[in-house]
A and B are shown apart, each in its own frame.
Chain A
Amino acid sequence: MKKTKVLVGLASCGIAAGANKVYNKLKALQEADKLDIELKITGCIGMCYREPLVEVIDETGSYLYGEINEEKAVEIFDKHLKQSEPVKDYIVKSDLFESKDDSFWDGQVKIALRNCGLIDPENIGEYEEHDGYIAIKKILEGKISQEQVIKTVLDSGIRGRGGGGFPTGMKWRFAYNNKADTKYIICNADEGDPGAFMDRSLLEGDPHAVIEGLIIGSYAIGASEGVIYCRAEYPLAIKRLNIAIDQAREKGYLGKDILGVKGFNFNLYVKEGAGAFVCGEETALMASIEGERGMPRKRPPFPAEAGLWGKPSNINNVETFANIPYILLNGAESFSKYGTEKSKGTKVFALTGKINHGGSVEVPMGVSIRDIIFKLGGGITDGKKFKAVQLGGPSGGCIPEYLADTIVDYDSVNATGAIMGSGGMVVMDETTCMVDIARFFLDFTCKESCGKCTFCRVGTKRMLEILTRITEGEGKEGDIEKLEELAYQIKDNSLCGLGQTAPNPVLTTIKYFRHEYEAHIKDKKCPALNCKKLLTYTVNPDTCTGCTVCAKNCPTNAIDGARKEIHFIRQDACIQCGMCFSKCKFDAIVLS
């Protein structure tokens, strides 16, 4: 009889939801009862909306339990683990019967995330059991040449998963062709896009896949030094990467004469970022590794000629590297059979926002956005109306509902004015104000602009001022045109991707939601009822109980009414702070 396996999803979001407590509880129970089970940790299972997740795999099959707390863990332990009676009420996925959450998995193809939620990320043995480090062995033992490795990557059609979409094989070829005594290979794990966490999931769930991808890359281009540049906001990812690197070094996958191959040396270390979005840009990232302010550098020379410390360097994203071992092991065809003509393979998306099933999903390129949101994502929360989806973070744009049939591939998404980006997909409903979203992103890029180019430094500031003015009801005739003019100037006159794409959120919202801008400017109204300064607060006489809480909390004493009497808001004194609305326990304050 095989031992029953119990996996607890311990990635950052699982831990935030309380998975550590669940794990400790199960551990304590197991030790107290001396029950012969295999209790293990694993990375992100993907179903973030059901965290904490516990999976039980026994001889009958697998059972994934969702939204588990300590009490439920006790129940699962007593019933399922001790008496082999699954607790059906908590099951969110099982290979034995259907569950209402099954749509979340329909159509997902896991290549990059192949081991996430399956293996213990802190144990190299488990990665090896799941075809880990076989690809690099195959390459070295089969004496497959560097050119051949690069050709396989080229044939697979994989394009940079960080957002740019540049063919990875071509990048590798450039770096390979530039001869030098030292070359560098860098993994960009500075996932700065707000609303994106795919790379975090990967690093926390399957760090060895990324490391193996880097080793293969180092072999292909001839790099002896490697750096994983990871943002400091991901402490767990950094911890697991360091554990994984130590294990890989011990096993001879890193270091000198790797796997006994004379002269194949590769050193890898993790470099912590210090909190600057612009460091996601490759030349800025290199400046940051060199210990300078993370400011982008002029190209040419391109990093493939003179990158880190002036040496030829190649830089790819986390997800790109995670795909590499799979491609080399199973052949280019195994990857390129998925996807569209120009965008091959699968892509990981972080589904968040006003969506029922938030989490990380991996789908083949070519699936429509609508399918991702409504099939996998389970539709919009509280049955509200779907308005738009934001792709590509601060460099991307908002795609409106009527374009939701757009398929996800680099070119189709670009055609809408958004970008594929690293994979953040933030869903917005009718209560999200598009002008406010544009303001939010400009606020972000304005703060994160490194200040090197005048148009980016000053231009984003001016745009932010205009947008803030509009959301506060001070918008003027001509503001939209001024925004557009500034947007194109910033795009044309900025050195790096940050500036060149910073106006995208504004341009796409103007393109698709111009009427919302006009409502703010001309009618002084926010159609989504989101911009506080443009709202009118009134008391609903039917639900007001006269509890006086609103009147007590009103900072300008604009609310009249005695105890147990219906209250009244004097509009001339109201400053639209929203205090009454947030304090009222009876939903008696109405916005309009």
Chain B
Amino acid sequence: MRVKRILQEKEAVIQSSVDLTLIDPLIEKYKNKKGNLIPILQGTQDIYGYLPKETFIKISEQTGLKLSEMYGVATFYTQFRLNPVGKYIVKVCHGTACHVQNATAISEAVEDALGIKDGETTEDRLFTLESVACLGCCSLAPVMMIGDETYAKLTGNKAVKIVKEIKIKESN
């Protein structure tokens, strides 16, 4: 049974919309290196924004890494995502400093404005909302990060305004 299931997944690879050749250089670079599993997954996620199922199979076949181990690692670390994400990832900081400065209100305001819950992606694939542990900008709490930009000393209204501005920019 097990063999058959893997075969079915292989078929899916052929039909998949993900361009698997993109990870060839990555596999070449890390093949046969010890401790390569996490860097390979990090590199794959850099390419696709998440870890497509098909890439697991390809990486496993070409490097000899076990699928079970790969899945174990991918689900252990919060960095890895198994589903596609939005163009903008809104990371609302929930570190201690942000928590005592009411980060919950920021999350709730953004959830309201985007109509999604923590961890979800909007239907137009524009935004993904994530709570993160600490962005290390504690003196400017509460903060959130969108892309590489950090927004400081937020209020619920300010956060919503920032998100809406991006939305407007994207619709133009």
Contacts and interface: CB of A to CB of B under 8 A. Distances in A.
Interface in B1-35: 34-35
A49 B133 CA distance: 21
Given A13-B137, A291-B35, A195 B97 contact: yes
A450 B95 contact: no
B150 A12 contact: yes
Interface stretch (A78-86, A323-331, A424-432, A518-526): A424-432
Contacts of A51: 139-140
Contacts, number: 135
A541 B55 CA distance: 63
A276 B152 contact: no
A289 to B, nearest CB: 6
Given A232-B79, A273-B77, A424-B138, 17 more contacts: A13-B136, A13-B140, A48-B140, A194-B95, A194-B99, A195-B96, A234-B136, A235-B148, A272-B42, A291-B34, A291-B36, A294-B77, A309-B34, A352-B96, A353-B96, A437-B99, A450-B76
Contacts of B80: 274
Given A48-B140, A194-B94, A17 B152 contact: yes
Interface string A272-290: 1111110000000000111
Interface string B92-113: 0011111111000100000000
Contacts of B52: none
Contacts of B94: 194
A432 B102 CA distance: 10
A432 B100 contact: yes
Given A16-B152, A426-B100, A274 B42 contact: yes
Contacts of A191: 136
Interface string A479-490: 000000000000
B42 A291 contact: no
B140 A17 contact: yes
21 contacts: A12-B150, A16-B143, A16-B150, A16-B152, A51-B139, A195-B96, A232-B79, A235-B148, A273-B79, A275-B78, A291-B37, A291-B39, A291-B73, A292-B69, A293-B72, A352-B97, A352-B141, A354-B100, A354-B101, A359-B139, A444-B133
A495 interface: no
Contact of B35 (A49, A194, A289): A289
Nearest to B105: A582
Interface of A: 12-13, 15-17, 48-49, 51, 191-197, 200, 232-235, 272-277, 288-294, 309, 350-354, 358-359, 390, 393, 424, 426, 428, 432, 437, 440-441, 444, 448, 450, 582
A16 B148 CA distance: 10
Nearest to A292: B73
A236 to B, nearest CB: 9
A465 B44 CA distance: 37
Contact of A358 (B77, B132, B138): B138
B77 A200 contact: no
Nearest to B75: A293
Contacts of B100: 353-354, 426, 428, 432, 437
A437 B135 CA distance: 19
B38 A288 contact: yes
Interface string B121-143: 00000000000111111111101
B156 interface: yes
Contact of B38 (A200, A274, A424, A428): A274
B73 A16 contact: no
Given A432-B100, A440-B99, A582-B105, A16 B38 contact: no
A292 B151 CA distance: 34
Nearest to B99: A440
Contact of B97 (A15, A233, A288, A353): A353
A216 B49 CA distance: 39
Contact of B140 (A16, A193, A393, A450): A16
A309 B33 CA distance: 13
Given A192-B134, A274-B80, A426 B139 contact: no
A432 B133 CA distance: 19
B38 A197 contact: no
A195 B95 contact: yes
